[in-house]
Structure 1
Amino acid sequence: MQATATVLVYSDDANIREQVKLATGRRPAADVPPVRFLECATLPAVLAALDAGGVDVCVLDGETAPIGGMGVCRQIKDEIFHCPPVLLLIGRPQDAWLATWSRAEAAVTLPVDPVEFADALAALLRARLAVEA
């Protein structure tokens, strides 16, 4: 198992970024490595971080303005070679079809439910780390 996993968190709302960090804790599950967070509040910061490499999972806030996480997800899936899996935070359960359109691997609703979020993040980390092994 690698030493740490890097999770990029994109939201213009510091409270959402904090909810994600609190829901994850040190690690989202016992069988995945501890998590290091890379917080981004703008699209240019997300793109720069992904270009630099080393991101294992992206958590994107679909409610971010002016560029929402769904649009960011679709863009990075088109532009980033070996794009990390994406966990999309959506405002309503009815928006799940938009998460599918954006090509996100998983979606959870806001506000962040710690158990649901940790389970979804751990599943994406397991899949990503299995591919890298």
Structure 2
Amino acid sequence: MKVIIMGCGRVGAQMAALLDQEGHSVTALDTDAYSFRRLPPDFKGEALLGDGLDEDVLRRAGIEEADAFVAVTQEDNRNVMAAQIAQKIFNVKKVVCRIYDPMRRDLYSVLGLEAISPTIVLAEMLKEKLES
């Protein structure tokens, strides 16, 4: 599977490493070259400096052949915009984005985006721990 991950922070780098170890073709995309330090030394994928909202950058990342696109930057709006570009313009089959704001997550789901809110996930996990 060819996967493009926009955002090479802790989550993006960890996901890139996991997918790379499983033999997937991974491109980590970030606007800050320093972020790539989080990738493991044995990372076989590509680290591409650029803005995931820029269609030319996405083409250089190979989005036209991508099976999946993941947007995990620190900014909800950037994640949603990039996810929509991947889904609507480049017809990527599987698109997932991280949305911190729980209220926005529901709105984006209505738009057809698969959005995960770590805020909701963590709150639910903590609640379960309190109840057990």
Task: Give the TM-score normalised by the residue count of structure 1.
Answer: 0.54
Of 81, 84, 99, the residue aligned with 1:90 is 99
Q: Are the counterparts in 2 of residues 73 and 103 from structure 1 also a CA contact under 8 Å?
A: no
Letter in 1 for 2:60: A
The answer as to whether partners of 2:6 and 2:28 remain within 8 angstroms in 1 is yes
Identity %: 10
Asked if 1:37 is matched to 2:49, the reply is no
Per the alignment, in what secondary structure is the counterpart of residue 96 of structure 1? Answer: helix
Q: Taking structure 1 as reference, are residues 22 and 109 closer, same or farther at Cα in structure 2, changes over 3 Å only?
A: farther
State whether structure 2 residue 9 is matched by structure 1 residue 19. Answer: no
**Is the aligned partner of 1:63 residue 2:52?**
no
| Larger Rg belongs to | 2
Structure 1 pair 17/39, CA: closer, same or farther in 2 (3 Å)? same
User: Could you give the per-residue CA deviations for residues 93-132 of structure 1, whole angstroms, max 9, x where no partner exists?
Assistant: 433224325532x332348x8xxxxxxxxxxxxxxxxxxx
Q: Which runs of 5 or more structure 1 residues have no equivalent in the other structure? A: 28-33, 114-133
Tell me, which stretches of 5 or more residues in structure 2 are unaligned? 31-50, 122-132
Which of the two has greater helix per residue?
A: 2
Amino acid across the alignment from 1:36: S
Taking CA–CA contacts closer than 8 Å with sequence separation of 6 or more, which of the two structures ends up with the larger relative contact order? 1
Q: How many residues align?
A: 97
What root-mean-square deviation, in Å, do the aligned CA atoms of Structure 1 and Structure 2 show? 3.0
Output the TM-score relative to the length of structure 2: 0.55
